[in-house]
Amino acid sequence: MKKNKTDEDSETTADIEDTFCLQILITVLYLLHKSFYNIFSLSLGTMDENRFVACAAAISAIMTVCLLLKKNKKKRRLWVRPWIARREQQGIHHTLLRELQFEDLKSYINYLRMDEDSFKFIASKISPLISKQNTHLRNCISVEERLMVTFRFLATGESYTYRSLQYSSRIPQCTLSGIIPETCEAIYQALKGDFLKVPRTEKEWLDIAKDFEDKWNVFNTIGAMDGKHVRITCPDKGGSHHFNYKSYHRIILFALTDANYKFIYIDVGTNGRIGDSGVYNKSKLKKCLADNSILNTPAGKNLPGANIATPYVVLADDAFPLSYNVMKPYPLKNITREEKIYNYRLSRGRRIVESSFGILASRFRVFLTTINLCPEKVTKIVLAACTIHNLLIDRRKHLYTCHEIISRSRKGHTFLDVLSHEELQELQTLTTQTRTVGNRHGREIRENFKIFYNGAGKVPWQEEYA
């Protein structure tokens, strides 16, 4: 903006006044230094006149510098950029999103990754935590608009300091850097009690086991667990703390899921240097599985149609240690036919956690990028995304997962399977760095499951898939 002649004259007058005041101040200090010297001499005893003059000069110099700094201080050119000030008239929340809402619901769902009812439900839950007040200077950014930019960030992965997102939303980059982590934390805090809770009664665990048995033909199973990488940029002064053996920086999302793709336990934020079994060993889940009284997990029972007693177990891949309540596949070296069948049956239940991660990354594509934020903020983003994942499975599973449980037929027999309408994008799987052997009790229990799946618990189509 060009300055008019009046503004230039005003600035020139102000500069002359500041200079004149500075000259008067220095002159007064110099002329009165003898008077101050006499006063200080009487009160402090003796004081060298040269020392007093030096003190007066120092004070004068300090005040001169302060005035010059004030004079040369960079003046703010704009209170707010004009195109940002037009957010309420032309911002995407007030224009395009409204058009999609009334004209194209399918595109609206694709844009926010959820339907309008779910969006309003989440907004009502987090409103007490993030709502702000209008001031006489400007109106605040509404809860709905804060939630919209957060969902758009999760959906697109525009994580390079929110730079591209600021142009579509007309919200400054510096403001987005505060809004998105705050909204993610509010989502997690407001919804975790209803949608991301760990089962704490025996009945809840038995219901999960029943779902695994009915849908995926695995017995005495209360969950499937795995860990996934979330790529991040190297934090400031982070060194190699988050650097993994795949040569990039990451934090780890470790999760336990039920038979319906829902997360029932998550551990987020472990640095990338720790391996997969290390994440499990440090998690609270290991302690809870070892002690049934903590989460009231059910005791073991006989497998149906066989006099074989096994505990309720969690399914995992080869990266985790085999134990009394954690089952993993047999190693492929020198594997027998019976062991292959056991591996197939275990994989029918274990793949649910893989699919859960795939659905999460496919819908919230920020996890397919390298997130350019500090680990603390990335942790908030992951917690919020997992909470929304569970909410949408409960409320709109047919819209969210794009999966259908279908019936397949093999040799005259029918069984449940999953049909995917699109290729799911998976987060990077944790890879085994060292083989974990497992203890004696774990190997005995795995042998019991192998005998059962090859005997009384076999399904007619397993020979074809094994």
pLDDT tens per residue, range 180-195: 999 999 999 999 999 9
Whether residue 107 contacts residue 100, with contact meaning beta carbons closer than 8 Å, is answered with yes
Backbone angles phi, psi at 109, to 5 degrees: -65, -40
Return the axis-axis angle of helices 105-112 and 116-130, rounded to nearest 10°: 40
Instruction: Please list, in sequence order, all residues whose beta carbon lies within 8 angstroms of the beta carbon of residue 71, skipping any fewer than 6 positions away.
Output: 15, 18
Two tokens, residue 331: 């190693």
Q: pTM for the whole thing? A: 0.79
Distance CA(357)–CA(318), nearest Å, equals 18
Least confident among 22-31, 388-397, 454-463: 22-31
- Most confidently predicted of 14-18, 149-153, 394-398: 149-153
Backbone torsion region of residue 115, taken as left when φ is above 0, otherwise alpha when ψ lies between -120 and 50, otherwise beta: beta
Least confident among 150-159, 327-336, 376-385: 150-159
More confident residue, 281 or 239: 281
Angle value at C-alpha 68, between 63 and 70, nearest 5 degrees: 95
Q: How many CA atoms lie within 13 A of 386 on its CB side?
A: 29
pLDDT at 29 over 60: no
Least confident among 122-126, 257-261, 267-271: 267-271
Which among 222, 282, 290 has a CA at the least distance from the CA of 252? 282
Mean pLDDT of 191-215: 94
Whether residue 212 contacts residue 349, with contact meaning beta carbons closer than 8 Å, is answered with yes
Distance CA(78)–CA(152), nearest Å, equals 28
Distance CA(162)–CA(179), nearest Å, equals 11
Reduced 3-state DSSP string for 388-442: HHHHHHHHHHHHHCCEEEEEEEECCEEEEEEEECCCCCCCCECCCCCCCCCCHHH
Whether residue 152 contacts residue 365, with contact meaning beta carbons closer than 8 Å, is answered with no
Distance CA(159)–CA(173), nearest Å, equals 11
Backbone torsion region of residue 77, taken as left when φ is above 0, otherwise alpha when ψ lies between -120 and 50, otherwise beta: alpha
Distance CA(109)–CA(107), nearest Å, equals 5
Task: Give the chain's mean pLDDT.
Answer: 81
168-204 exposure pattern, b = at least 16 Cβ within 10 A, e = fewer: ebbbeeebbeebbbbbbbbbbbbbbeebbeebeeeeb
pLDDT at 8 over 60: no
Distance CA(48)–CA(71), nearest Å, equals 35
Whether residue 353 contacts residue 222, with contact meaning beta carbons closer than 8 Å, is answered with no
Strand order in the sheet with 313-315: 263-271, 250-257, 221-231, 313-315, 326-327
Mean pLDDT of 142-157: 92
Measured over the CA atoms of residue 96, residue 97, residue 103 and residue 107, the dihedral's sign is: positive
**SS3 label, residue 213:** helix
pLDDT at 418 over 50: yes
Whether residue 390 contacts residue 196, with contact meaning beta carbons closer than 8 Å, is answered with yes
Measured over the CA atoms of residue 197, residue 201, residue 205 and residue 208, the dihedral's sign is: negative
Q: How many CA atoms lie within 13 A of 431 on its CB side?
A: 5
Two tokens, residue 359: 């659905």
Mean pLDDT of 140-159: 89
More confident residue, 211 or 432: 211
Least confident among 52-66, 369-383, 416-430: 416-430
pLDDT tens for 274-308 read 777 788 888 899 998 888 888 999 988 899 888 88
β-pairing, 263-271 with 250-257?
A: antiparallel
β-pairing, 263-271 with 301-302?
A: unpaired
